[in-house]
Amino acid sequence: KGGFARTAAGWRNKVEVGGEFPPEADRYHLYIALACPWAAGTLSVLFLKGLEGAISYSVTHPTWRRTRPDDENDTHAGWHFCAPGDPPVSNANGHGSFECDDALIPDSLNGAKCVRDLYELANDEVGKYSTPVLWDKKQKTIVNNESTEILRMLNDCFNDFAAHPEVDLYPDASQKEAEELNSFIYPTVNNGVYRCGFSQSQEAYEEALGELFSSLDRLEAHLASRRYLTGAAFTWLDLRLYHTLVRFDPVYHLYFKANLKRIQDYPNLLGFVRDVYQMDAIKKTTNMRHIKMHYYTSHAHLNPFGIIPGSNGPDLTVPSNREKLSSVLLEEH
């Protein structure tokens, strides 16, 4: 009772050879919010694979605002597009002045003012105006808006156009273990922080909080002897965990009341976050300014005046020294 229930993604088409949406260069466009962990992860894969020349992308402003401001009966607030240097944005209550920085990339493809416009252009009937969105330029429609499926398609389907086709985040050897780990990481950590933050009863909050920190304790022990979750190789599961943990101390600990411990209180988890952050492709998709601005300015009922706290969390540029764990694992095998 009072628990947070995530709405399922409504667009689940696949890019596949011989299908309705075949893999082609310059056919697809990715709409993302750098603040969103699910969306930022898809852009990470795009960079890891070197697909910038084959798949274009747009980046939303981090602050949600009214998507139909001229209709007083339509109160939906969500992701919207601005260009660098546009006038600052206020939150839904009219408070704050949140800059339009150089990380923003407006929608030059469809000219959408907000992500909702894209869903309506595609005749969406679900109404979850979320990111990421994988868009087909040829058919002018949404292919998929489920981040896990977009990750897999970017990894598997565009190797003919990738600068780094050798990068594989889904190695066969670790898939079984990855799925087993994900069976508790997703519901209690990735989604667990949202279950804490958007609980509407004390009972639901305490249940989510207990499961979250039980899983963090488990992951801290798990990562004591291995560099990544399934061993020496970085996979999709590490990417998903990273994008949750990097937001934890500056946002989830305070804003979502996930405050029993910080990630910097877990030596192995902190080392893991630093290790992953220091990959160039990951660093490019970790925008702490956007992360903090989104959460602290987009939910007007939780933070009416849009005040953004000062801390960015631990210094992620400190060497992790976790590469030695890869050597140990290789020697053992």
- Nearest alpha-carbon partner for 102 in 79, 82, 130: 82
Report the distance separating Cα 61 and Cα 201, nearest Å: 31
Report the first-to-last Cα separation within the chain, whole angstroms. Answer: 47
Which residue among 170, 186, 194, 277 is the active-site one? Answer: 194
Query: Residue 98 corresponds to which amino acid?
Result: F
Radius of gyration of the chain (CA): 20
Contact, 158 vs 55, CB < 8 A? yes
Report the distance separating Cα 126 and Cα 159, nearest Å: 32
Report the distance separating Cα 96 and Cα 302, nearest Å: 14
Known catalytic residue at 36:
yes
DSSP 134-203: EEETTTTEEEE--HHHHHHHHHHS-GGG-S-TT--SS-HHHHHHHHHHHHHHIIIIITHHHHHHT-SSHH
Query: Residue 239 corresponds to which amino acid?
Result: L
Both tokens of 148, joined, read: 């896990």
* 24: CB partners within 8 A, 6+ apart: none
Q: What is the residue whose two structure tokens read 């997703």?
A: 186
Known catalytic residue at 186:
no
What is the chain's length? Answer: 333
- Nearest alpha-carbon partner for 182 in 142, 136, 151: 151
Contact, 89 vs 98, CB < 8 A? yes
Which residue among 28, 36, 119, 252 is the active-site one? Answer: 36
Catalytic residues, by residue number, are 36, 194
